[in-house]
Amino acid sequence: MIDKSNSFPVKIPQTEQERILIIGGGFGGLQLVRNLKNAPYQVVMVDRHNYHTFQPLLYQVATGGLEPDSIGTPLRKIFTGQGNFIFRMAEAKLVDPEEKRLYTNIGHIDYDYLVFASGSKTNYFGMVDVQTYAMPMKTIPQAIDLRAMLLENLEKAMYTVTEHEVETLIDIVVVGGGPTGVETAGALAELKMRVLPADYPELDFNRMDIYLVELGPKLLAGMSEKASRKTKQFLEKLGVNIWLNTGLVSFDGKVAKFNNGKEIPTTTLIFSAGVAANTIPGLDHESLHRSGRILVNENLKVKGYDNIYAVGDVAGFSADEGKTFLPMVAPVAIQQGQYLAKLFRKKAKNGFKYKDRGAMATIGKNKAVADLGPFKLTGVAAWFVWMFVHLMSIVGFRNRLLVFINWLWYYIFYRQNIRLIIRPFKREIPEPKEETVKV
């Protein structure tokens, strides 16, 4: 895939300082760079996007609650004025630890220290058909695409004649009962109840079925019993059909089949049932867990290497001697990024310790669940905590303000607002005029 002999170095100013090269501008990478401000290193980051994505709110972009621009912040803007920071928009492809060199789609970059902060990607568990036809929701372009698809299907339903085809277009299956699946299903249910009937008076929305399908015996498996139970109640109240203990078997873009023998005819299957570490080739086999996560020690140093680290979803950090890894969630990445910066500043002590401050999920207006240590909140209180915590976590005051206005608007008018079907611009190129003469 990468031809090493044909690769050129990426132009980067040379300094006297040692170079820390970071793959990925997610929560982990962001905290690391921020906390390396004025540290005696040259900090180089590569990311395939020029922006940081606030992933916990992607589902609101997909369901028309927020503009894409308000959950993305340009990485260059975040680190404006941070003199030791260099950004290159590039996709990491291959690492060669011997050469201390990272190969990317724009050339190679040498490093003194390498940090994997490359997050996770959707895990289809090898189901090629699902990967081909289902909608993932890990990036802003994917969320915009999903929003366009949901609305296009409704537009198609307006001129589709047979009942069966109409239902195939409007029914939605969400696979995966974790936070993303739960929040997406809740937002879709509110769209169905509050917004769409006014937009499409010709359509009977009682015919629109929303399914949430989970392989395990409960929703939000990582949270408390009470949170799971309440979440199920909230969703059912919103009219979501919940199938527990059910696995997706196949999806061909028209029919989703499950291991309980049931089938749902639908064009829209949102797949949020699994994530896998987002790695690149080049590390020793011994450094990787069979799940794909990169094994790190208590200092987040990758097994078998002295100058390679990993933080966040991609890192397999275990606090119980390898029995379980920390979950793939933003707070872990944030704390690990902060810890690693301390380590580089030689101020870290005693190894990384994760402070679990709890978990939460929102299901709809005034409906959320939050496990905050001994406090298990549900309903309105949890909803306000959720909103406050998320609002404060968004990068940049301007985005925070725009999200706040959108949410306030939603709270008052109880309607999502953003419903443009934005499809990529396709150029229509005319055929050049034929100048040859037919014989």
Nearest distance from C-beta of residue 369 to a copy of itself, angstroms: 29
Q: Does 425 bind a copy of itself (CB under 8 A)?
A: yes
Quick one: which of 140, 111, 223, 135 has its CA closest to 177? 223
Contact characters 348-387, a copy of itself, x per CB under 8 A = ----------------------------------------
Nearest to 19 by CA among 108, 119, 118: 108
Q: Which of residues 223-262 bind a copy of itself (CB under 8 A)?
A: none
What CA–CA distances, in Å, run from 310 to 200, 320, 326, 349, 417? 49, 18, 13, 18, 39
* 418 touches a copy of itself (CB under 8 A): yes
**DSSP-assigned beta bridge partners for residue 161:** none
**Minimum distance from CB of 305 to a copy of itself (Å)?**
26
Kindly tell me which residue out of 233, 259, 324, 417 binds a copy of itself, with binding defined by CB under 8 A.
Answer: 417
Based on the shown chain and the rule CB under 8 A, indicate whether residue 221 belongs to the binding site for a copy of itself.
no
The CA distance from 12 to 9, in Å, is: 8
Q: Contact 364/231 with Cβ under 8 angstroms?
A: no
Residue at 139: amino acid letter: T
DSSP 306-371: SSEEE-GGGEE--SSTTS-PPPSSHHHHHHHHHHHHHHHTT---S--------EEEEEETTEEEEE
335, 352 Cβ separation under 8 angstroms: yes
Minimum CB–partner distance for residue 10 and a copy of itself (Å): 5
* 281, 94 contact by CB (below 8 A): yes
427: contact with a copy of itself by CB under 8 A: yes
Instruction: Report residue 128: phi and psi, to 5°.
Output: -60, -40
**3-class secondary-structure state, position 59:** helix
Which of 72, 177, 178, 316 binds a copy of itself (CB under 8 A)? It is 72
Exactly one of 10, 20, 329, 395 binds a copy of itself (CB under 8 A); which one?
10
Q: Are 152 and 195 in contact (CB under 8 A)?
A: no
CA 107 to mean position of chain CA atoms = 27
Closest to 155 measured CA to CA, from 135, 145, 169: 169
Using the contact rule CB under 8 A, the part of the chain among 23-31, 174-182, 227-235, 422-430 near a copy of itself is: 422-430
Determine, following the binding rule CB under 8 A, whether residue 13 of this chain makes contact with a copy of itself.
yes
Rounded distance, CA 232 to CA 234, Å? Answer: 6
Instruction: Find the shortest distance in angstroms from Cβ 320 to a copy of itself.
Output: 34
Does residue 105 bind a copy of itself (CB under 8 A)?
Answer: no
Q: Is 100 in the site for a copy of itself (CB under 8 A)?
A: no
Binders of a copy of itself in range 178-217 (CB under 8 A): 198-200, 202
Q: Which of 376, 402, 407, 414 binds a copy of itself (CB under 8 A)?
A: 402
Q: Are 1 and 93 in contact (CB under 8 A)?
A: yes
Please say which residue, 23 or 86, places its beta carbon nearer to a copy of itself: 86
Paired strand residues for 294? 288, 315
Shortest distance, CB of residue 60 to a copy of itself, whole angstroms?
13
| Interface of this chain with a copy of itself, residues 145 to 174, rule: CB under 8 A | 145, 151-152, 155, 158-161
Please report whether residue 432 would count as binding a copy of itself according to CB under 8 A.
Answer: yes
> Is 26 a residue that touches a copy of itself (CB under 8 A)?
no
User: Least distance (Å) from a copy of itself to the CB of residue 91?
Assistant: 12
Chain residues binding a copy of itself by CB under 8 A are: 10-13, 49-51, 67-70, 72, 74, 76-77, 80-81, 86-90, 106-107, 128, 131-132, 139-142, 144-145, 151-152, 155, 158-161, 198-200, 202, 398, 401-402, 405, 409, 417-425, 427, 429-430, 432-433
